[in-house]
Every structure is written in C-alpha cells, then in structure tokens.
Structure 1
Amino acid sequence: MLSSEVFLCGPTQQTLRLGLLAPLSGLMGVAGPAIINCAVLAAEEACRASGTTIDLVLVDAGRAPEDVAREVDLLVGAGLVDGLVGTHTSNIRVAVEARVNNQVPYVFTPPHEFGRASAGSVFLGSDPAEHLRQPIAWLAKHRRVERWALIGNDYVWPRQVHAAATRVLRDLQQRVVMDRLVPMGHVDVAELVAAAQRARADAILVSLVGRDGIEFHRGVTELDASTAFVRLCTALDESCLVAAGGDSSGELYTAMPTFLLQDDDRHRRLLESYVARFGLTAPLPGSYAEGCYDGVHLLAAMCESGLLTTNTATQVAERLFSDANRSDFAQAGIDLRRRPMSMARASGTDLEVVRTLRQV
C-alpha cells in the first residue's frame, strides 16, 4: 500500500499498519525489490500467526533524507501507521528519528553507527566495532595483510566505520595508510585505486554503499586491479555483487549478518518460504532483505504484545529477544533471535561463507 492510498483511507482500528521505509531509488535501490518481497513475506506470516490484518505502507527511502522524513512525519502525525521498519542508509534514519521523535516504534535493520538508540528506536544490525573486529582479525591472520586503505561514502555510517576501524586496526597492530570519504554518487575508481597503490596498501576496507560500491568493484576489475588488494566490504550482499558483475579474484570479502549460501536451519527455512511465495526468478533475498524480514516480524510482535503502552520500544524489543524461544513463536515458525555477524568471500556471483571466521 502506498502512503497516498493511506492518506485517502484515513486511520483504522481493525488493521495493524506498519510503515515500510525501503529504497526504491538512490544508492540502495538495487536491493529494494528483494527488501519489499521479504517485508511482504514477513507480514503475511505474522498475520497468519496472530490473526491480525497487517498492511505495509510503502515509503521510498532512496530519496533525500528530508523528503523521506517529511512524508513519514505526515503518516505518523495523522495516526496512519502504528510503527516503522526501515532498511535504508543511516542518514535517512537520523532525519526520520528527528521528525518522529519516539511517537511510534521504529525498527532499523541494517548495521548502525555508534550511539545509543532513542527510546522509540530499535537497532537490529551491528555497530561498527562489532561488524569489523572478527573479519579484520581473520584477514590479518590468514591473509597476512598489514597496511589498510579506508574508502567510504561521506555520510554518518561510513564515517563511524572509519573511526571504529582505526581503533580496531590499531588494537590488532595493523596500520591505516589512507583514509578517504567521497560524496555519494561521485566515485572516481581510478583515482582511488591509484591513491591506495601510492600508499602501498595491501588491503582496502570498503564502506561505499549500494550503487557506489557496485561501481567501485566493477571499476577495480576493469582496471585489472582485483588482485592488487584484499578488499573487505561492510555493505556488499549478493544483489550488489551480481550488479557489479561478480568477482573471481579471491580477494573480495564481505561482512554481513547473512548470506544466501548459509546452511543453518533458520536461513534455509526463509529461502524455502521466499521461493514458494515469489518463485525462482524473484530478486535475490540478500542480507538487507533478510534483515527487513526480521524487522517486520519484530515490529509486528512488538505491536501485538500490548507492552508498548507501558514500556519503550527498546524495552519491549529486549523483552521479546529474551522470550525468543517462547512456544507460540516457535509454533508459528517465528524466530526473533538476533543474527550474529558472518563473513564471506566472493566466488563469481556467489558469496561463500568463511566458516573459520571465529577461529582467529
């Protein structure tokens, strides 16, 4: 359901309406279709489990932050949504939080920057230090890298990634020899690669998001520089890898909560449900999409719990996380446990999980 339709219909007491902030355009637009599919799947599952009608109200979170925040503010102010789930860049989250000001629960699913969540916000993703420490330690040990170039977009999440990475690398006796933040939509791959080579970097931490990351990895291949550095990414899933044309260098790694080739029962059940609902030709449900699936399930459970009348969103989420093994959740096939960080290596258009990640 589009927000324009909701404004025409007005408030309702019979339906649980969840605002879905997903990127239909912009840097993360490539992941948008799969994100929406996973949100729909989660809403349908939550509806069957609870018997409550659930509508998703779609907001394009690929636009300018203030435009997204203004539309969300109108929805919340008019009482048209009961909560928000967002899978988008952090600059959008900052703008939306400032406008919404804890009026409804807001579940943000991707990795997040440092800072405590407000009372109305719940972060499902990892913070930068958690995101990076084990992958960097594994690469330092197994790939014998020492000199790192940090390359990211110039906005809140990559800035905090670079700050956290600098601390983590120092703790692991690694060196930062280059630190570069570039405007979103302005990635000069040749210049960045040349600068990393001049700095004698043997590894690059890439926190370029969505389309910018795709252009960077495609450009590295076109410049025949794919084997010149080990590359570790903070925002690369299978949809972005496919869009970049794949990578067979053996030097491209990514740290994310989930990957398509993971073999655990929880992930396998989701993929089976996704294919049954949308078919084999549907967009790949990468890590961002899977995070949104978790976010919709969590937000629906929060709204259905009855706990939000006397507790903050953060308190309710922690209560549900601690009760994640409750029999009613298990019987409904709902899993509210947090997902740990994983690391994978690109192999063509696949991301193969590095199973020895924790054995650093």
Structure 2
Amino acid sequence: MRWDWLFVRRNNGPMTPPVSILLPSEVLLSGPAPHALRLGLLAPLSGLLGVAGPAIINCAILAGEEIARATETVLELVLVDAGGMPETVAREVDLLVGAGLVNGLVGTHTSNVRVAVEARVADRVPYVFTPPHDFSRASAGSVFLGSDPKEHLRQPIAWLARNRRITRWALIGSDYVWPRQVHRAATTVLRELGQRIVLDRLVPMGQVDTAELVAATRHAGADAILVSLVGRDGIEFHRGVTELDAGQSFLRLCTALDENCLIAVGGDSSGELYSAMPTFLQQGDDRHLRLLESYVARFGLTAPLPGSYAEGCYDGVHVLAALCLSGLLATNSAASAAEQLFAASTGIPRDGSELGFDLSRHPMRLARANDTDLEIVGMPSGV
C-alpha cells in the first residue's frame, strides 16, 4: 500500500496543518495523548470503496483543521484502512480503543465493517458512521449520519417512475448487509408505487459477471435496474454495460455512485445512468459551495473530487469532535448526545464565520451521468 500521496499532502500544502495524521502503529508505540483530541479515522484505502479513499481523507483533514483553528484544540487523526476484511479492521480498532488511544471513531466505509467494529467497540467510545446505512441500530454508542434504505429510495424511484414511465425493475446488489436491506426496502417502496420486481439478485462481492447479469435483466424484461453494487463491483458492472453496448437497454438507478466512482467507470453517455445520493458536486446551495471553495483552497484543483462519501466524512469529523468537546458524553450515550447536538447546533465557527456543517438529514438528490459528470435532474421531493 502506498502512503506517499498522503505525506506529500501533509508536508507541502498551502499551510502547516494543525492536524496530524498518524498510523495505528505510531500511536500504539507512543501511547495516549492526554493533551490532544485523537480521533480514529476509518477510511477505505483499499477494497470496494478504495477509489473514494483519498478524497475522504482530504475532507477529514479539512474538517480537522477547521476544528483545530476554531477551538484551539490539538487534533490528531489515526488512520485505519477500513477497506480490509471486517474482522481484521475490527481487531485493529479494538486495539486502539482498548489501549485508550482514541477518543472516538468516524467511519466512512461499508456496512459489514461497521457491524464488526460495533461488536468489538461495544460503546466504549462514540462511533460516527457517515454513509447510507442499514436499518439496524444495535449500539447506543453509534451515530448514523446517512439515510436508511427507505429514505434513500422512495423519492428517486417515485420521480423516475413518474418521469421516465418505468414499471418493471431488476434489483442487483452486492451480497452483504446494506444491499440486502436496500432490496428489502425497495421491495416495499416499489410495491407501494405500483411497480413490479422482475429480477432480484445478490452477487458475491468481487464476483460480478456483467454479461450474465445483463442477459438475465433482458430475459426478465426489466425497464430499469436498481444497482446496489458497491464501489469496485459497481464500477466493473457499469464498465461492462458500456462494453456490451447495453447502456440504452434499460435505465440504471445507483445507490452508491459518486463522481469518483463515475470517473473510475470511464464516464457514461447513455443518458440512462442515474445516481441517488445526498450530495453532488454540481449542487449550488451556499453551504456546499463554501465547502468546495475551502477544499480547493486547501488541496488545489487537481485533488481527488470531494464526492458524497467524502463530504459525509467531513460532516462526521465535525460531529465527532463536537461530541467529544461538548461534555455531553459524561452523562449521555453517543446517540443521545448527538440528538441534543442536532437539536441545538447549526455549525462550528470557522475563522470568525459560519461554515454551517450539516447536522440534519440531507434530502436525497437525483442526478444523471453525462460523461464524467453527475448532473442534478431535480430534488425528487420538489418535482
């Protein structure tokens, strides 16, 4: 694994950052840091979501620097590769938590890793999980920032059914925690909207056979595919659809496709590839534009694109730091403390101004691929 891009970013940025990026081996050797706020950053540097890892880490650094400046806190991020096998990641996190080396965890990774980490951490430190999540909420120490499957699906599917005259759906996803929940939620949502499911397939991770899936979809007579193949598997599927010249055979609605993944696909110009995510680079609200301006000023125009996963991690670092600095954890679980923060706060001051990091649920937005861009076609709730 190469770490050189990270250290170049740390040492040669536009300013000396008030945030340190540490590896688990470093903190295991050095021991606790009583005068610093030390947060475990669980980010995918390999595996299914590895393509989004560099942007996720950049956004974590950006958030950490804002927090350090605003609160005059020494802040350290302990970087754990969350792209490995769930139990391997969980054991590494368990070592950090058990030795008292981190004050909390923020994770932007797959749900199977979250389940394993929760089981090991067992509420000993707050754990902020930022991507869309499955329905289970077994731990009072966990804070979920993303949407659940029904929140994620209902409005985008309704918009497409109404505006694209879709009636017959194939469900194709990865065979692990979150896509299974997506399929269950989709079954309910589609039936409520008068839609029909003609194919339901969960694919073992790393074993995507695009030609077979396309043939099965055509044989079933589907108008559209709900794709919940995650990260690298989704990239391979969409590449394969283009190579098979099947891009216009059916509409594809994705639940885990951001701009970095679309670039890795090589773009798509079929006009039939859609993504439902809480944020996209091209949205024009003031809060999002300020975040992009800060990101470009810090990392430059050639940095990895800060897509929805990365922006979620940005919010997650802010939320975790706010929890740790608030004093609420002394008498409340992380989930209860977060609810109090969500009700009371709109953001942490940044350089005397209000950046306004988001503590509320993002409404789902729907975008269509145009080459390597995701162009918003509407917020389904308002269309």
TM range (shorter): over 0.9
* Residue of structure 1 in register with 2:12 after alignment: none
Q: Distance in 2 between matches of 1:350 and 1:326?
A: 29
Equivalent position amino acid for 1:345 in 2 = R
Deviations 1:9-48 (A, max 9, x none): 1012100000000000001100000000000000010111
Contact 2:348 2:356 in 1 (8 A): no
Select which of 21, 27, 42 maps to 2:48: 27
Select which of 304, 315, 335 maps to 2:357: 335
Deviation for aligned residue 1:326: 6.7
Change (3 A) 1:89 1:4: same
Equivalent position amino acid for 1:141 in 2 = R
Q: Distance in 1 between matches of 2:199 and 2:120?
A: 36
Deviation for aligned residue 1:328: 5.3
Select which of 175, 187, 204 maps to 2:208: 187
* Residue of structure 2 in register with 1:348 after alignment: 371
Deviations 1:153-186 (A, max 9, x none): 0000000000000000000000000000011111
Q: Distance in 2 between matches of 1:344 and 1:30?
A: 20
Equivalent position amino acid for 1:150 in 2 = L
Contact 1:158 1:207 in 2 (8 A): yes
* Residue of structure 1 in register with 2:279 after alignment: 258
Q: Distance in 1 between matches of 2:130 and 2:346?
A: 21
Deviations 1:92-142 (A, max 9, x none): 000000000000000000000012351100000000000000000000000
TM-score, normalized by length of structure 1? Answer: 0.98
Change (3 A) 1:49 1:218: same
Q: Distance in 1 between matches of 2:354 and 2:197?
A: 48
Change (3 A) 1:257 1:308: same
Equivalent position amino acid for 1:241 in 2 = L
User: Are residues 1:228 and 2:228 paired?
Assistant: no
Equivalent position amino acid for 1:221 in 2 = T
Contact 1:117 1:123 in 2 (8 A): no
Equivalent position amino acid for 2:341 in 1 = L
Q: Distance in 2 between matches of 1:220 and 1:153?
A: 17
Equivalent position amino acid for 2:373 in 1 = D
Where do 1:42-53 residues align within 5 Å? 42-53=63-74
Q: Distance in 2 between matches of 1:359 and 1:24?
A: 37
Deviation for aligned residue 1:342: 1.1
Deviation for aligned residue 1:8: 1.0
Equivalent position amino acid for 1:29 in 2 = G
Question: 2:96 is paired with a residue of what secondary structure?
Answer: helix
* Residue of structure 2 in register with 1:119 after alignment: 140
Q: Distance in 1 between matches of 2:299 and 2:80?
A: 21
User: Are residues 1:81 and 2:102 paired?
Assistant: yes
Deviations 1:182-227 (A, max 9, x none): 1111100000000000000000000000010001001001101000
Q: Distance in 1 between matches of 2:347 and 2:174?
A: 41
* Residue of structure 1 in register with 2:5 after alignment: none
Where do 1:134-149 residues align within 5 Å? 134-149=155-170
Q: Distance in 2 between matches of 1:327 and 1:83?
A: 18
* Residue of structure 2 in register with 1:280 after alignment: 301
Deviations 1:295-325 (A, max 9, x none): 0000001101011000110111111111123
Q: Distance in 2 between matches of 1:156 and 1:327?
A: 34
Deviations 1:252-311 (A, max 9, x none): 111111000010011101110001100100001110000000000000011010110001
Calculate the aligned-residue CA RMSD, in Å: 1.2
Q: Distance in 2 between matches of 1:176 and 1:327?
A: 45
Change (3 A) 1:356 1:334: closer
Q: How many residues align?
A: 360
Equivalent position amino acid for 2:194 in 1 = Q
Equivalent position amino acid for 1:149 in 2 = A
Q: Distance in 1 between matches of 2:317 and 2:177?
A: 24
User: Are residues 1:214 and 2:235 paired?
Assistant: yes
The percent identity for this pair of structures is 74
User: Are residues 1:241 and 2:279 paired?
Assistant: no
Q: Distance in 2 between matches of 1:91 and 1:335?
A: 27
Deviation for aligned residue 1:336: 3.4
Contact 1:109 1:123 in 2 (8 A): yes
Q: Distance in 1 between matches of 2:373 and 2:199?
A: 29
User: Are residues 1:157 and 2:178 paired?
Assistant: yes
Contact 1:324 1:335 in 2 (8 A): no
Contact 1:49 1:332 in 2 (8 A): no
Q: Distance in 2 between matches of 1:352 and 1:117?
A: 36
Q: Distance in 2 between matches of 1:204 and 1:262?
A: 25
Deviation for aligned residue 1:332: 4.8
* Residue of structure 1 in register with 2:17 after alignment: none
Contact 1:177 1:199 in 2 (8 A): yes
Question: 1:354 is paired with a residue of what secondary structure?
Answer: strand
User: Are residues 1:3 and 2:24 paired?
Assistant: yes
Q: Distance in 1 between matches of 2:49 and 2:347?
A: 35
Q: Distance in 2 between matches of 1:356 and 1:307?
A: 35
Question: 2:34 is paired with a residue of what secondary structure?
Answer: coil
Q: Distance in 2 between matches of 1:291 and 1:257?
A: 9
Equivalent position amino acid for 1:230 in 2 = L
